[in-house]
Amino acid sequence: MSDKTEYTIQNLFEAFVYLRRQGATPDYALQYLKQMRPVISANQRDELAQLIRQWEKTEGIHHRPNPDAQIQPPPPPTPEPEPKPAEAQVKCPQCGTMNRPEARYCFSCGTLLTRSGTEQLYSDEASLNGASFGKLSSLIFTVRGFEQKPIHVNIEDFEEIIIGRTAADSVIVPDVDLTGFDSQKLGVSRVHATLKRKDTTVTISDMGSVNHTYLNGERIFPQEIRVLRDGDELRLGRMVIRISFQRELKRIK
């Protein structure tokens, strides 16, 4: 282990998960993290503890310690890409997130990012690049290879929807159960990701899944919040899902 490596909180969390999945006890994994980064601030310790607690409640319960396991050290972290200059990024006026220079909408909350010059005014909430999820909208998952079996997802404001699969030895029943879609073979975790709806947006977060979650080819890291848009491609492990917002006409009283 190189002392010169600067391990981030995400690096430490991923190392903890890697060790636990091999059969290490939580205490062993935590001691290993101390060797990776002996000094850590109180705020960072709290952040790491929150990630670990969430993982232990969802996936960790399925990874019992194995005293006979041959624990391998976690692989070195992948170098992070060089960040773009702050002045080249665009700050979201709604949530303050810094976005890529070419972004038209905030990747975190879906807000339209203003530019200099004339702005187009939108009278229809559905026109905001597919990010707006109206009160009469329906969320539909279409799994590749199972196009004849679309999944209609009912989601209310502030409700958390679990996406995953059932298993014979698990008491967890996800709200969106992908068991009948070759989910185990395709690498979907029992608790893979969660959906949340707030006002007119629907967001997705990865729950520390084994084979990761990708939105339009970009990985969603554990606990990261990403906005879903109409037409997005979601990948859980090797399962590809097309996201659709089915909008209904306003009812006439």
Assess whether pLDDT exceeds 50 at residue 7. yes
More confident residue, 137 or 167: 167
**What is the dotted CATH code of the domain comprising 81-121?**
2.30.30
Where in the chain is CATH 2.30.30? 81-121
Assess whether pLDDT exceeds 50 at residue 26. yes
**pLDDT tier at 123 (50, 70, 90 boundaries)?**
very low
pLDDT value, residue 102: 72
Assess whether pLDDT exceeds 50 at residue 28. yes
| CB burial string 157-190: b at 16+ within 10 A, e below | eeeebbbbbbeeeeeeebebebeebebeebbbbb
Where in the chain is CATH 2.60.200.20? 125-246
**What is the dotted CATH code of the domain comprising 125-246?**
2.60.200.20
| 65-87 mean pLDDT | 75
**pLDDT tier at 129 (50, 70, 90 boundaries)?**
low
- Give the span between the Cα atoms of 61 and 172, in whole angstroms: 11
pLDDT value, residue 80: 60
Taking phi first (over 0 means left), then psi (-120 to 50 degrees means alpha), and beta for anything else, what does residue 212 get? Answer: left
Which residues neighbour 206 within 8 Å (Cβ) at sequence distance 6 or greater?
192, 193, 212, 213, 220, 221, 222, 223, 224
| 133-145 mean pLDDT | 83
pLDDT value, residue 248: 57
CB 129 within 8 A of CB 143: no
CA distances to 45, 91, 211, 241 from 51, rounded to whole Å, are 10, 27, 17, 26
| 156-172 mean pLDDT | 84
> What percent of the chain has pLDDT above 70?
77
Work out the mean pLDDT of the chain and round it to a whole number.
Answer: 81
**pLDDT tier at 85 (50, 70, 90 boundaries)?**
low
pLDDT value, residue 63: 85
More confident residue, 54 or 87: 54
pLDDT value, residue 207: 92
In Å, how far from its chain's centre is CA 56?
17
Assess whether pLDDT exceeds 50 at residue 127. no
| 231-236 mean pLDDT | 94
Residue 58's DSSP bridge partners are: none
Total-model pTM: 0.51
